[in-house]
Amino acid sequence: MNSVRLWYKKSGLVIYTSHLDMNRCFTRAVRRADIPLWYTEGFNPHPYMTFLLPLPLGQTGLREPLDIRVEEDISPGEIKNRLNSVLPSGLEIVDAAEAVNKANSIVSARYKTDLLFESEGEAEGFSAGINDIMSSGVLNAEKRSKRGTKKVNLCDYVDSFSAVCEGKTVKTDAVLATGTQNNLNAGLLFETLCSEFAAEPEKTSIVRTDIYMENMIPFC
Amino acid sequence: MYPAELEKYLMHVQKPGRYTGGELNSVIKPHDSVDIRYAFCFPDTYEIGMSHLGMKILYSLVNERDDALCERVFAPDVDMEAIMREHNIPLYALESGKPIGDFDIIGFTMQYELSYTNVLNMLDLAGLPVKSADREALTPIVIAGGTCVCNPEPMADFFDITLPGDGEEVTNELIDLLKEYKKKGAAKKEFLAAAAQIPGVYVPSLYEVSYNGDGTVKEVTPTCSAPAKVIKRNVADLDKMFAPTSFVVPFLESVFDRTTVEIFRGCIRGCRFCQAGFLNRPLREKSPEAVEAQCRAICDSSGYDEISLCSLSTSDYKGLEKLLTNMLPWADENKINIALPSLRADNFPKELMERLNSVRRSGLTFAPEAGTQRMRDVINKNITEEEILSTAAQAFSGGWTAVKLYFMIGLPTETEEDLKGIADLAQAVVDKYYSCENKPKGKSVSVNISLASLVPKPFTPFQWEPQDKPDVLIEKQNYLISCVKTRKVNVSRHVPWTSFLEGVFARGDRRLGRVIETAWKKGCHFDSWEEHLDREKWTQSFKECGIDPYFYTARVRDLDEVLPWDHMDYGVTKKFLQKEYIKAHKGETTPCCREKCSNCGAARLNGGVCNELGKTVV
């Protein structure tokens, strides 16, 4: 039995597929690719497959980790090639390698978010406003979790934030707490920012670009 | 793909993946590369529609053609519909995101009467007039197939064409004809008259209906040389028929998240309440070799790990043993689960079931349908209590502890005795568990009774029967529940009002079109969803149209009455159904097709079990 860490890109129409459905989707893809997956040995055997950091609905991920276990000796490169020939469009394995770091060492991730507005003026106003509010260090919101809803200061979950305005588009770059300890869904951050300024962007695209451990050391 | 205007709102609706397309194996063709563009519509939500086998077959069939394309369309859920209406986004097809009003054919599959209002709503969302007569252009032509079109009359105002019977062959013929007429620049009327000449094509607008003083149908008269009787299409040899080897695999979990392979069409049994059994006669089997090849191909292309072998009565499949013997090693090796729905209690393949369990165990469900032998004879469900109990005993010694039993109430000639019989039978199954020596140690048994109510359907011997009114059904349900004396038996029941509305449309006539339109205008849709069914609006709609719904459900029909669907011909003759009706009331049974031919009339359609018998008898 061998563990392999796959890195996949999720973009296009697939971003509207929820985490649970992604699980099913990859299980089927692995079967189509004829990859000798290792099955758990319980009453109801199922393949071993773990998404380390579920990507919220509606967001793009450039390099998302997924651990699988295979029964035979099959090279990570071969797994990558086989999967890429059967994955639906929008999903692509960009890398496959032995797992180096443990999943619980993830603490943050970088999100690049573009918000498209109807006019340049609207974009400029929004960009300036959110830079101000984020540097003030206070942005309160209701955060939902399994334990219920609580009021939190979202800025406590933000390591860095910057926004620039390019024409009708506001481009932001943020490093947010991510992982099992502290986690801020980038969707919640931008929803809150938009409602703060009563802004209604035509399109909001959130892209997770990098995943980090302590001191922004890339997770691999 | 979805229209660009929708982008902004996708994250505001539940399960946006239902509206985006882009699933594995979906077929995307440029619209200008084909002559005919077919929008295949399922009048319910994505999750339900994506489980439907008929759609998968016709989708692949049309896309096989170089000159045509087929895209999928589902009813948007209420949240999405509100957004589409607010922002004037017309109903679009999932592959291209293009509005379905621009397609050449809009085809609906009609599986359930309670989806009628959804059809109107989808046409309206597409920006089209709901009535056939108000759509003047040649295209889009609005067609429908599926079980419900055996009585096309309640929807006659809305559909341009309905297709009784198997859709595979006639779909291609219709596409060919439309291609020709579109090229000619013909008028819609000309095309419809020509289409009516294709066997198995019904054009409702070419028929005039007159009524008697008592409200019953007097006569149905064809015009423009349309045939007096429209004979359903029947695919004689399923092995030679097109079968898809790849299915669109949804990202979202659909109702049945597995692949389905058909093993036969039709049924030999002749249960008198079962519409599917009579509509699909004669029984036609696929060879085990063809089934296995399709199973392997579909699992390879989809990656599913569960196959459901689909038919009306799986254990009647002659090739079952051979198929499973050949297929099980492959299934085991690839960890594929094979599900056998629709098993009968009298020919339950015990050894096979044990082997099937090697992969995964699913629940066990039987359908005795009625509680007493007398009642089972009336409905011609030819199984005995001993058979049910011995099958249950087998299951219990095989390790099962939960059994689900399907029953129907509101059956003709039903008495309190018969209702109590259901509770008694469930009790007998519980007792059987405790007397069973090999039962699982230290576990309790649970018997779940699912109670449906009879909706008499066209083309069954019960098509003349009055249907119990909702309050009577509730009384019967309550009485039955009072007869259950143990907590090991659970009873789940259906809402009688749903069955009532289903009953109205199942045996309705053309005059109901107005009611459907009125109710839809009042906001009725998704009527099969309990939370959406609005009784008040429906009651009001019947009233406004001056129609008594009980005329269609509660009335005793004369055996010689002209029925609104008499001009449809599904092979089985009215004379045979009349004989069956009389036998039912005498409690006499009819043997299954393989025991003895009862001359139902389906033999003239050619194929299947009728030929099988012919060979053995001669």
Tell me the per-residue pLDDT of B46-63, one tens digit each, with 9 for 90 and over: 999 998 999 999 999 999
Per-residue pLDDT of B299-324, as tens digits, reads 999 999 889 999 998 888 999 889 98
C-beta atoms of B251 and A30 within 8 A: no
According to the model, what pLDDT value does residue B349 have? 65
Distance from CA of A102 to the nearest CA of B (A): 29
* Number of Cβ atoms within 10 Å of the Cβ of B190: 13
Kindly report the backbone phi and psi dihedral angles of residue A61, in degrees, each rounded to the nearest multiple of 5, phi listed first. -125, 130
User: In this complex, is the C-beta atom of A102 within 8 Å of any C-beta atom belonging to chain B?
Assistant: no
Range in A1-5, A133-137, B35-39, B597-601 with the lowest mean pLDDT: A1-5
Residues of chain A where predicted confidence (pLDDT) is lower than 50: none
Longest dimension (CA), chain A: 61
Q: Which fold has domain A105-216?
A: Alpha-Beta Plaits (3.30.70)
- Nearest Cα of chain A lies from the Cα of B345 at a distance, in angstroms, of 27
Nearest CB neighbour to A58, from listed B11, B21, B360: B11
Chain center to CA of B37: 25
Answer whether residue B358 shows pLDDT above 70.
no
Range of the domain at B413: 363-511+547-587
CATH number of the domain residue B62 falls in? 3.40.50.280
In a domain, B321, yes or no: no
Longest dimension (CA), chain B: 76
Q: In the prediction, which pLDDT does B338 show? A: 86
> pLDDT at position B339, please?
82
CA distance B58 to B41: 11
pLDDT of residue B221: 97
Q: Which of B27, B94, B251 is the mutation pick for testing A, counting most A CBs within 10 A?
A: B251
Whether residue A21 and residue B17 make contact (CB cut-off 8 A), yes or no, is yes
Q: How far is B94 from chain A (nearest CA, A)?
A: 11
Q: Is residue B248 part of a domain?
A: no
pLDDT band at B357 (very low <50, low <70, confident <90, very high): low
Residue of A182, A179, A181 whose CA lies nearest to A208: A179
- CB–CB contact B11 A44 (8 Å): no
**Cβ contact (<8 Å) for B303 and A28?**
yes
**Chains A–B, number of C-beta pairs less than 8 Å apart:** 72
Q: Considering the domain boundaries, does residue B612 fall inside one?
A: no
A13 Cβ under 8 Å from any chain B Cβ: yes
Contacts of A17 in chain B (CB under 8 A): 17, 251-252
Mutate which: B1, B10, B14, B24, vs A, most A CBs within 10 A: B24
Using pLDDT thresholds of 50, 70 and 90, give the confidence band for residue B362: low
Topology at the third CATH level for domain A2-99: Alpha-Beta Plaits (3.30.70)
Q: Do domains A2-99 and A105-216 have the same CATH topology?
A: yes
Q: Is the confidence at residue B616, as pLDDT, over 80?
A: no
pLDDT, residue B617, reads 42
Contact (Cβ atoms closer than 8 angstroms) between residue B147 and residue B80: no
Give mean pLDDT, residues B15-29.
94
Output the average pLDDT for chain B: 92
| pLDDT tens-place string over residues B97-132 | 999 999 999 999 999 999 999 999 999 999 999 999
Asked if residue B310 belongs to a domain, the reply is no
Q: Is residue B516 one of the residues assigned to a domain?
A: no
B181 to chain A, minimum CA–CA distance in Å? 37
Length of chain B: 618
Residue B218 has pLDDT above 90, yes or no: yes
Domain count, chain B: 2
Regarding whether B193 and B46 lie in a shared domain, the answer is yes
Point out the least confidently predicted range of B30-34, B68-72, B400-404: B400-404
Q: Which ipTM value was assigned to this complex?
A: 0.87
Task: Grade residue B350 by pLDDT with cuts at 50, 70 and 90.
Answer: low
Helix A120-136 and helix A186-196, axial crossing angle in degrees, nearest 10: 110
Which three-class secondary structure state does DSSP give residue B27? coil
Which residues of B are less than 8 Å from A45 in CB distance? 335
**Residue B53 Cα distances to B49, B50, B194, B248, B378, angstroms:** 9, 8, 30, 11, 32
Q: Is A120 an interface residue toward B (CB < 8 Å)?
A: no
* Sole residue written with tokens 């949240």: B79
| Any domain includes B616 | no
Secondary structure class of B63 (helix, strand, coil):
helix
The domain that holds B397 is classified in CATH as 3.30.750.200
Categorize the per-residue pLDDT at B438 as very low, low, confident or very high, splitting at 50, 70 and 90. confident
Task: Identify the closest residue of chain A to B334 by CA–CA distance.
Answer: A31
Residue from the list A16, A32, A86 with its beta carbon closest to the beta carbon of B16: A16
pTM: 0.93
Which among A21, A32, A90 has CB closest to B253?
A21
Domain ranges of chain A: 2-99, 105-216
Task: Give the whole-number percent of chain B exceeding pLDDT 90.
Answer: 78
In a domain, residue B61? The reply is yes
Give the burial string for B600-614 (b: 16+ CB within 10 Å, else e).
Answer: bbbbebebbbbebbe
